[in-house]
Amino acid sequence: MSLRPRPEIENLEPSPHGGLNQAELKAMGLTPEEVLDFSVCANPFPPPPEVNKALESVSVNRHPDSESTEFRECLSRKLGVSPDNILAGSGATELIRLIALAYFGAGDSVLVPEPTFGEYKVACRIAGAEAVSQWSEENSFNIKIAETVEQIKQNQPRGVFICNPNNPTGHYLSGQEIEAVLDACEDTLLVLDEAYISFVEESWSSLDLTERANLVIVRSMTKDYALAGLRLGYAVADKEIIRTLRRVCPPWNVNTVAQKAGIAALNDTDYLEQCNREIKKAKHFLVDELKRLGFSLLPSETNFFLVKVTSAKDFRTTLLKQGILVRDCTSFGLPDYVRIAARTIPDCVKLVDAIREMRCQ
């Protein structure tokens, strides 16, 4: 008999994501450079100018700082929290898995309001915990906070994952709603994923809530600062939680290039505001044009939104043949929706023209 992994790993299915699939493109006779990618919810503009300059001085022949000290100190000044309350990660997904590894295990249940980011369930299954779904069907698939609070009080799960703003719906919960959830989490860890918080026009600060000993905020710098190829994110939490996560965190988990790029990006104080101004214009253009074409769109408070179509799979395939990629939301449990993230205005014009041509066929 061959050696077998743990049962939960043997049957583990990876979570689908947006982005380019090299094998798929090759089969279609396309190169990555020929594709406009609306499937990833990231800043479509180049990274801050200082990033490239900072990378010129990187020494790749030495190990990176295992503590990401300078990067965390830079974040500390920007966020107004102690460096001891921050853990750097190789993207938000690594941090999500570290949290599950440190806090969840066999016999634990973890509440996951859906539809949402698929990596929460994957992380739970890797740890051996059971991910319990709370599916929201009405009201544009938005989380029913009263129902969430009731489930927590009744079942006392080991953890709760909430994506805010939510991926893929773009719905953004208020501070009062998150506090209501946190109040119900007496012996429950709340993981608040704010990967897209920088794209929300009128956001509230959750950082003060980290004074509580059962909250971890996870953020990504690959989305807002256009650093997806480097993988960079961070968690903010009570010092004891951060110390616990450090125990399971691999050494040198954030490479030197990512650390230097993150510091350079954080020091550019005007970058996000300038990019968001253009992204907002592009999103409004797309929303107006798609509604004019007769599509039904779900309201979103961030840079991406859901569009109802007949078949998400067919819609995506047809557009990809024209060199345009959107996100098929079947993996979210939404087979008749695609997710579209705003790019530059010229790119958005090409998308609208392609959809108009597709509907005329």
In DSSP notation, 68-128 reads -HHHHHHHHHHHTS-GGGEEEESSHHHHHHHHHHHH--TT-EEEEEES--THHHHHHHHHT
| Residue 144 in domain | yes
Task: Supply φ then ψ for residue 12, to 5 degrees.
Answer: -75, 130
- Where residue 167 sits, what CATH number does that domain have? 3.40.640.10
Q: Does residue 244 share a domain with residue 147?
A: yes
Burial (CB count within 10 angstroms: exposed 0-12, middle 13-18, buried 19+), residue 292: exposed
The percentage of residues in the chain with a pLDDT greater than 90, rounded to a whole number, is 87
Rounded CA-CA distance 196/42 in Å is 9
C-alpha 162/C-alpha 217 separation (Å) is 10
| Banded model confidence at residue 54, pLDDT cuts 50, 70, 90 | confident
Same domain, 219 and 279: no
Q: Mean per-residue pLDDT for 90-114?
A: 97
Decide which of 208, 237, 266 is a domain's last residue.
Answer: 266
Whether residues 33 and 112 fall in one domain: no
Q: What percent of the chain has a predicted confidence (pLDDT) above 70?
A: 99
pLDDT exceeds 60 at position 1: no
Q: Has residue 157 been placed in a domain?
A: yes
Asked whether 77 and 241 are in contact (CB, 8 A), the reply is no
Q: What angle do CA 237, 242, 248 make, to 5 degrees?
A: 140
Model confidence at 322, pLDDT cuts 50, 70, 90, reads: very high
Considering the domain architecture, whether residues 98 and 205 belong to the same structural domain is answered as yes
For residues 42 and 149, membership in a common domain is answered with: no
- Backbone phi and psi for residue 207, each to the nearest 5 degrees, phi listed first: -60, -35
13 and 156 co-located in one domain: no
Report how far Cα 191 is from the mean position of its chain's Cα atoms. 13
Note whether 163 and 276 are same-domain residues: no
Tens digits of residue pLDDT in 153-171: 999 999 999 999 999 999 9
In a domain, 2, yes or no: no
Q: Would you say residue 265 has pLDDT above 80? A: yes
Boundary-marking domain end, from 247, 266, 285: 266
CA distance 312 to 152: 33
81 belongs to a structural domain: yes
Domain span at 208: 51-266
Do both 324 and 255 map to the same domain? no
Residue 169 and residue 146 share a domain: yes
Comparing C-alpha atoms, which of 189, 210, 197 is closest to residue 99? 189
pLDDT for the residue 59: 85
Q: What is the mean pLDDT of the chain?
A: 95
Q: What is the distance between the alpha carbons of residues 346 and 125, in angstroms, rounded to a whole number?
A: 42
Distance CA 286, CA 159 (A): 37
pTM: 0.96
CATH assignment of the domain containing 338: 3.90.1150.10
Same domain flag for 19 and 148:
no
- Which of residues 266, 284, 309 is at a domain's end? 266
Which tokens sit at 94? Answer: 């690594």
Tokens read off for 24: 């798929």
Residue 235 reports pLDDT greater than 60: yes
pLDDT at residue 361 above 70?
no
Q: What's the average model confidence in pLDDT over 31-49?
A: 94
Same domain, 32 and 84: no
Asked if the structure places residue 1 within a domain, the reply is no
Q: For tokens 């104080």, what's the residue?
A: 269
Query: How many separate domains does the chain show?
Result: 2
First to last CA, the chain: 55
Q: Does 248 share its domain with 287?
A: no
